[in-house]
Structure formats: C-alpha cells, structure tokens
Amino acid sequence: MLIKIKTNLDIPSSEITDKKLYLNRREFIRAASMAAVTAASGSLGSDLLMSDTVQAGEKLEGVVKGPYSTDEKPTSYTAITTYNNFYEFGTDKESPAEIAPKTLKPRPWSVAVEGEINKPAVYHLEDLIPKTLEERVYRHRCVEAWSMVIPWVGFPLADLIKRFEPTSKAKFVEFTTLYDPEQMPGQKRAILKWPYVEGLRMDEAMNPLTILAVGLYGEVLPNQNGAPLRLVVPWKYGFKSIKSIVKIRFVEEQPMNTWALAAPDEYGFYANVNPEVDHPRWSQARERRVGEFFKRKTLMFNGYAEQVAHMYANMDLRTYF
C-alpha cells in the first residue's frame, strides 16, 4: 500500500456529494443512484462543550470559518453519523451509531499528556479546548475505498502541542483511545489489540491541516464519531484519525500503531493516501464518495499534496506506506 496525491480542491458541481442518504448500508446501496439535496449548517463555540450535560446534536454558536477547507459540498449529516468505522462498538458500519449513544459517556473527560514535554499533566477536557473553534471542511477517506466530505469543528493540534512545550527528544506524538469494555463493548472481543493506539511524526502533528475535532456540522461531536475529542488528519486514511482520545504521549521512537500491529503487510505507520500503490486486496486508484453511484479518481495525499507533499519528498512511499 502506498500513497500519493494530486492537488485539486476545486471539484465541478457534477461531482458534488448528494445531501440525502438513507440510514444504513442496504438502503445506501439501493439509493446510491438517487439525487436529492438537504442543507445543514451551523456554528460551534466552546461554551457548551464545557458542560457535563452536553449532548450530541446540540448547536453551539461562535465558530469561525477555518482556513484550508475544501469547497466541496459536505456529505449529509445522516451519512456521516450512521456509516462509521469504530470497532470499539462493533465491526459493522451501523453498529457505532446504534451502540455508542447508549453506552459511551463523553463527560466528564480527561486526557493524560505525558512523555518528552515540560508540562506533563492530566488535563480536563475544558482545559484543552480553546475559546475559539474553527469549522474546516475536509475530505475523509477510508482504506475500504469510500470517502466523505465532513465539516469538522475543532482546533489546530499544533496550538495544543506548543502549550505542552515538547523537548528536543519529542520526535513523534502517540495517541490512545479510551479502554473501557463496559462503555465500548466491542473491546470485549479480541478484534484488535486494545486500547487503540495511533501516532504521527512531529512535523505531521504540527502541520496546520491537522486538527483535534470536538464537533461536526456545527454540533457537538456524536459518540459514534469519536466524542468528545478525536484527531483529524485529512491527507491520511481514516484509521489514522483516532477517536475518543484519553492519552497524548510525546516519544522519541516511532509508536507501534494498532493497525500496523494487526496487519503490517496492509497498514503501515504513515497511511498517506496514495492511489499509485494498491492495497494487497484491492485497488486504491478509484474511490466512491458516499452518496454517489459512480467512482472517481483517488487524489494523491487525498488532494492535499500542496500542503503536505514536502514532508515526504525524500521518502520511498512504497517502503514507508
């Protein structure tokens, strides 16, 4: 598996994602060729996120439009919140939306920050979230060759990292998901090695495209989408954007991320979107946007080559996939 991408953020209207989808995969397949549009928008601020009683679906005010957003029309809220990979709640795409709202308790929430930094501590969620949040519309592509355009709401990871004052030994950032089989019943099965772990090189973590998301579509982040805090790295495959983060650790050596440990011949540490290298079990040259019938070309680095290609200029992407 490898990853390269052409930069093209201007997509013709004929390729825009439908705005109405049915709630599950069977209905999606049946409806994929239909054209319908719904509109949803909103703004998000940080005040409500501080509340222990916050609920997914609650609107927040005061969100500013962030830079780097694609001009593509977002995938529908229904599709984004009901067609998910989140194995902590089951391997079906529908399971997270069915289970997570009933079992996951995203408030109160704390994040342990450790490792090669000057300010290690256990931080309450409200101490991590800045007063100003941004809405950024990003492409989000999964290895299974389907993709969405999601209006995430969050803040730059780089801003948070600076607050922790990393030392010169901090070469990578490691993230860990909550481990609690009662809240996340999928963890009762040995599908993967729990808890889920992901990582970024420091320059990737500091790239302005990388954000920590706390919402989408102007609303509080739903449980099934990684509440209350998840990573969004838009030029990489979806499994890199770890959900429900409880630990951030700054380390000198490259972390062993969960999928690279589970299937090292299929999922590498970098996971940059690269249509020029096939996954061992399928081609990655084309993808189907959720809500569309026809496939489209997969773009190198998921369309963000202009912003990120320089970080991999001297790397063999067939080796570092």
CA 311 to CA 236: how far, in whole Å?
Answer: 13
175: in domain = yes
Contact 59, 42 (CB under 8 A): yes
User: Which pTM does this prediction carry?
Assistant: 0.84
Q: Could you tell me the residue range of the domain that residue 128 belongs to?
A: 13-312
In a domain, 144, yes or no: yes
Residue 1 maps to a domain: no
Q: What residues contact 231, with CB distance under 8 A and at least 6 apart?
A: 157, 175, 198, 210, 211, 212, 213, 240, 241, 242, 243, 245
Return d(Cα 225, Cα 243) in angstroms, integer.
7
Whose tokens are 């040995």? That residue is 190
CATH number of the domain enclosing 231: 3.90.420.10
The sign of the torsion formed by the CA atoms of 42, 216, 48, 113 equals negative
- What distance in Å separates the CA atoms of residue 307 and residue 7, rounded to the nearest whole number? 9
- The tens-digit pLDDT sequence of the chain (321 residues) is 443 333 333 333 333 344 343 334 333 333 333 322 222 333 334 555 555 556 667 887 789 999 999 999 999 999 999 999 999 999 999 999 999 999 999 999 999 999 999 999 999 999 999 989 999 999 999 988 899 999 999 999 999 999 999 999 999 999 999 999 999 999 999 999 999 999 999 999 999 999 999 999 999 999 999 999 999 999 999 999 999 999 999 999 999 999 999 999 999 999 999 999 888 888 889 999 999 999 999 999 999 999 999 999 999 998 999
* Residue 19 placed within a domain: yes
CA 152, CA 136: separation in Å to the nearest integer?
5
Per-residue model confidence (pLDDT) at position 42: 32
What's the total number of domains in the chain? Answer: 1
261: in domain: yes
In a domain? residue 198: yes
> Is 22 domain-assigned?
yes
In a domain, 255, yes or no: yes
Report the C-alpha gap between 113 and 287 in whole angstroms: 37
State the pLDDT at residue 140.
94
